[in-house]
Structure 1
């Protein structure tokens, strides 16, 4: 509390701070310390190294640390050292669990062990869905994912295509061309629509682009190879679809799902994560068996026959509530 009776701005070290998600949820009266510039990136964030905290004076300590992601490079021992130094320096830790299962790793054992260390030490635990909260220890707060698209294209909710956006084939994305051939043939037979497969033009996608492009003449695949899209271009491309497939092998929550729903596009999601629990309207998200092209086709066909559904709810009001919920967590754990 300031001498004039006002409340000082809370000083939060968010890891990261400049990400689209963390920028969205930040309360307007909270200051996030800027991310470091490490060759144009914010990771690996130096504050995740316990030694970094030994170089800070008491006057330079933040009111709290809010960890979202970016700790993949830490070992379990590194993670223990981090939470111990935060405890010793009296800096509360807030953890948002975006990924119960890390999409980048096949073996989840080390990721789960690090989560246990972080959650044991956290002054507050947050996750995005009730389904995820049931897998965490009691007391996890549910604060939903905010909107992703702030300026939707005019054609939002009027698309007719069936699409999948593979970008540069992240580690959790299905890369087997047979999956997409079976999926596309089945969907085309039922709907008459080709499967639009968007891929980045780079060495990581070359094998899949080549394999699928050979089938374009048959009419059931529409392979679109391109450079990375701007947000506006991406939103327009997604908005031209009635339904989009998330071709994930593992993971927990999805900003892509939120983007699609912001655009009034229905989404077929694998059963490996908590994606259905994110749905604003259960009719707008259909689950399929992870990795099963025939069941994925069933989900796409069902959603396509139904037609695209607009987002249900007030995204502006939801964003206000999300920011207020974070403000309350920050005030509580910092004693402010």
Structure 2
């Protein structure tokens, strides 16, 4: 009999890994290019930018192929949730030798080809894919095939396109979970962060939050307002602040300098028709008080109602006790 079936969770976990690997490769270049920008003469910026991203072409197209691989695993996960037997491809003559005489693992069987996944999915799953998704997936498969099977000199992909593809894929298959929540789970289980000695360090949470905040800033910098609204509920058109809760967390990092906060995203936004502010990353809710900062030399007049954090110098002021 067949043993060790792959479940929906197994396929989804692997798909999440592909997306995060794609994200790592793209954001690594975004970080690097940002660090180099300060050394580029303003007049040469466009030319130097074109040279940099042209040299990063292989990384970007490979990252795109990883996104397509993730899509295939998400689809397989949905099919496996109905029955993993539906994923087995070919007639019995093509099955592994001796499959009828001994227990054999599911992974030994050939599974459905990518071109057949959507047809099988829409036949056995209660919710069929939309026409928009099918068209998008076909274009992604075309790119992946060009990457895997040949060297296409005309193929070009931008960082924005890869990031958008990652977010589109994740939101389509994980509608109830924000990308950065999934990203946090992934970072918590990277090889270094999986070690107990690292997790037990006092500033473990600080480094994790700092990484997410910097990636958040890079993401909203390159994505258009509509995409930020769609994937993060983030409005690029309204005034935003550094989240006092996130700021408090990252300030506990070793060798922290208040100037470092400017590398972090301003994720604290006022909710419409309300006086409440919400962090689009950590979910912290609070209000902003109009009070003069007590820090010497600071002229800030806005503070967080819970931490007393000044939004100008980030010092934490003593809050007045209510009677």
User: Which range, TM-score by smaller chain?
Assistant: under 0.3
- Higher-strand-fraction structure: 1
Higher-RCO chain (CA-CA 8 Å, sequence separation at least 6): 1
User: Please, what TM-score do these two structures have when normalized by structure 2?
Assistant: 0.26
User: Please, what TM-score do these two structures have when normalized by structure 1?
Assistant: 0.25
- Higher-helix-fraction structure: 2
State the structure with more CA Rg. Answer: 2
